[in-house]
């Protein structure tokens, strides 16, 4: 298996944690597009949104995705909105298995509400916003090769399932694994 692994999915589905551990297991380089954006801009994501707005963030995100998609033997964790743009989806698809991590709106809300790192959820009713954005983005998330519900799984479970499945391309069983995934600031 020499293909890259690209992790897509909504905020709070564990893309960063899973990506890091999966890369280690595969001996691949790990790339987190949000981290690269923050380093490049020398600002945290909420500051980029505040200072320059979402469209500026999306422009930088696309540039970074274009660059990192040229690499081989990498695990790429993307921001939750990376799949909105057609050009990003095309770039990310290059030589990769796309894995979409999902979780229920309630689980996403629970995982993300303790952090201030997601500007799109800094509003009065974040659960409602999560549901709206999930609806808007569903058609893009559903284009992944493998979809894996992380609601009741640990990071290690998810990493193991992806590791087993990337070779075969078999769709993941929603009910595998046990325990809970803990999402951090960037998850």
Which residue, 151 or 175, is less far from ligand S3P as judged by CB? 151
Taking CB under 6 A as the criterion, the residue among 14, 19, 81, 177 binding ligand S3P is 81
Backbone Cα Rg of the chain? 15
Dihedral of CA atoms 24, 181, 152, 2 in degrees, nearest 10, equals -20
Q: Cα dist. 62→78, 115, 169 in Å?
A: 11, 25, 27
Which residue, 114 or 170, is less far from ligand S3P as judged by CB? 114
Whether the CB-CB separation of 181 and 153 falls below 8 Å is answered with yes
> Looking only at residues 9 through 38 of this chain, which bind ligand S3P when binding is defined by CB under 6 A?
11, 15, 34
Q: Shortest gap between Cβ of 98 and ligand S3P (angstroms)?
A: 15
Q: Shortest gap between Cβ of 185 and ligand S3P (angstroms)?
A: 9
The answer to whether 105 contacts ligand S3P (rule: CB under 6 A) is no
The answer to whether 109 contacts ligand S3P (rule: CB under 6 A) is no
Residue nearest to ligand S3P (CB): 79
Side-chain-facing half-sphere of 71: CA atoms under 13 Å: 15
Which residue, 53 or 169, is less far from ligand S3P as judged by CB? 53
The answer to whether 60 contacts ligand S3P (rule: CB under 6 A) is no
The answer to whether 118 contacts ligand S3P (rule: CB under 6 A) is yes
d(CA 91, CA 150) in angstroms, rounded, equals 25
User: How many residues of this chain bind ligand S3P (CB under 6 A)?
Assistant: 11
The interaxial angle of helices 54-68 and 33-41, nearest 10 deg, is: 120
Residue with structure tokens 């694994």? Answer: 177
Q: What is the contact surface with ligand S3P in residues (CB under 6 A)?
A: 11, 15, 34, 45, 79-81, 118-120, 186
């Amino acid at each position: 298996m020499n293909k890259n692994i690209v992790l897509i999915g909504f905020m709070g589905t564990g893309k960063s944690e899973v990506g890091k551990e999966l890369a280690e297991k595969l001996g691949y380089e790990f790339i987190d597009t949000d981290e690269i954006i923050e380093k490049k801009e020398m600002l945290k994501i909420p500051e980029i949104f505040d200072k320059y707005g979402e469209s500026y963030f999306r422009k930088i995100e696309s540039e970074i995705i274009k660059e990192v998609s040229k690499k081989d033997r990498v695990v790429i964790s993307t921001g939750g909105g990376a799949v909105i743009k057609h050009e990003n989806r095309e770039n990310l698809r290059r030589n990769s298995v796309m894995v979409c991590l999902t979780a229920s709106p309630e689980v996403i809300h629970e995982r993300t509400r303790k952090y201030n790192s997601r500007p799109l959820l800094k509003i009065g009713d974040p659960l409602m916003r999560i549901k709206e954005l999930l609806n808007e983005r569903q058609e893009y998330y559903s284009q992944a090769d493998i979809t894996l519900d992380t609601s009741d799984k640990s990071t290690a479970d998810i990493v193991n399932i992806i590791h087993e499945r990337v070779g075969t391309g078999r769709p993941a069983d929603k009910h595998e694994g046990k325990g809970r995934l803990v999402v951090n600031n960037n998850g």
